[in-house]
Structure 1
Amino acid sequence: MSADEVKATPAPEVSEGLQATVMKMVEEKKTQFVAKIDEYAEMEQIKTIADKANQEPKTVAMGIAGAAVFFGVMTVVLMVGMKTLLELALYIPAVMKSIKAIESPEKDDDTDLLSFWVVYCFFTICDPFVQMVFFWVPYFGLFKFAFLQYCYRFKGTLFITETILKPVYNKITAMMEKAAPAAPAEAPEKAD
């Protein structure tokens, strides 16, 4: 019998349930195989890096794991200590500029910096109360930092001083002058 004479036998009938089960098993094996290939490729990348660095693959893998832990810890530290870092990023340049302004003979920079320090102190004093109200706003400290940077870098304090602080100051001073009796022009003489 030659190959031409042999008749192909038809495939046996298979139920759909069995066919679905077999296909599911094939997909699972395929997924496992692809995962093994990916794992092998990652190990090959680590080996390639290790070969370039002339180090053992285990050493390189430990270095990568150490870097991941370091970045994780730094992320936590920065998220927890973000407020302090932002405060320092604003405070240190302002102090340095203030010292230069004290030593300079010009008066314009003094007025600008005094206005900034008034706004900065106002925010510092009001911060606990504002935090209680806006605790639900994500990155509120970052918004506060951006606003204070605007005040410091772009002379925003002059705008704040002219539109908010001076009118409030004038109203409070007028109320205080109205409430307090006028002081005598001269101190009375001591009676003997």
Structure 2
Amino acid sequence: MDQVTQFLSHIDSKTIGITPLNHFEAQSGLPRSYAVLGVVAVYFVLIFLNVGGIGQLLSNIAGFVVPGYYSLVALQTTTTADDTQLLTYWVVFAFLNVVEFWSKAILYWIPFYWLFKTIFLLYIGIPVTGGAVQVYNGIVAPIAERVVGGGKGIASEINDAASGVSSAVDY
């Protein structure tokens, strides 16, 4: 079997218990994997077209649902490797959302931004790719080191100021 056939067979085997897909297969005579791939294609076309801002909604759903599922699975395991991977994802996701919030006016002019963001979120959200760790190590960690690093960052100064205000209030 070639890789495409194996991929389609894998989708079929993983979707056996899903009733609407079983109905699709029974009524159309086509494999369940065709319906799955059709829904995925429509999903990405809707993101691409971004009619009425639906691209942003669907992109955020992909950014929450896929890693959210993996996070729930990770909470059920006894190892910490998957926990670290997903915690890294959520840190990168939060970083991306903060950057996105402050640059929304610029991002509006980037064609197909929501499609690119969705693909990026899937890349960093699916643990097999290791994308979250790569983005964290390459971009977020150096910035975080300057902010919180070694007790001499901005976070230390904020803590000192907060302690000063707190102790002044006590008197």
1:34-183 pair list within 5 angstroms: 79-80=51-52, 81-153=54-126, 154-173=129-148, 174-176=152-154, 179=157, 180=160
SS at match of 1:137: coil
Per-residue CA deviation, residues 72-130 of structure 1 (Å, 9 max, x unaligned), is xxx7x962212212221331121111011011101100000001011111222332322
Partner amino acid, structure 2, of 1:165: V
Using CA pairs below 8 Å that are at least 6 residues apart, which structure has the higher relative contact order? 2
Aligned-pair identity (%): 22
1: distance between equivalents of 2:55 and 2:156?
Answer: 45
1: distance between equivalents of 2:50 and 2:155?
Answer: 49
Q: Provide structure 2 residue ranges, at least 5 long, that are not aligned to the other structure.
A: 1-45, 164-171
Partner amino acid, structure 1, of 2:70: K
Shift of residue 161, structure 1, vs aligned partner: 1.4
2: distance between equivalents of 1:84 and 1:134?
Answer: 15
Retained in 1: the 8 A contact 2:66–2:125? no
1:187 — aligned with what?
Answer: none
Change (3 A) 1:107 1:175: same
Q: Could you say which structure has the higher helix fraction?
A: 2
Shift of residue 162, structure 1, vs aligned partner: 1.3
1: distance between equivalents of 2:155 and 2:104?
Answer: 33
CA-based RMSD of the aligned residues comes to: 2.6
Per-residue CA deviation, residues 25-52 of structure 1 (Å, 9 max, x unaligned), is xxxxxxxxxxxxxxxxxxxxxxxxxxxx
Partner amino acid, structure 2, of 1:82: G
2: distance between equivalents of 1:178 and 1:87?
Answer: 33
**Normalised by the size of structure 1, how large is the TM-score?**
0.49
Change (3 A) 1:122 1:106: same
Partner amino acid, structure 1, of 2:97: T
**Aligned residues between the structures:** 108
Q: Provide structure 1 residue ranges, at least 5 long, that are not aligned to the other structure.
A: 1-74, 184-192
Shift of residue 178, structure 1, vs aligned partner: 6.7
Could you list the runs of 4 or more consecutive aligned residues of structure 1 that deviate by over 3 angstroms after TM superposition?
A: 176-181
**Normalised by the size of structure 2, how large is the TM-score?**
0.54
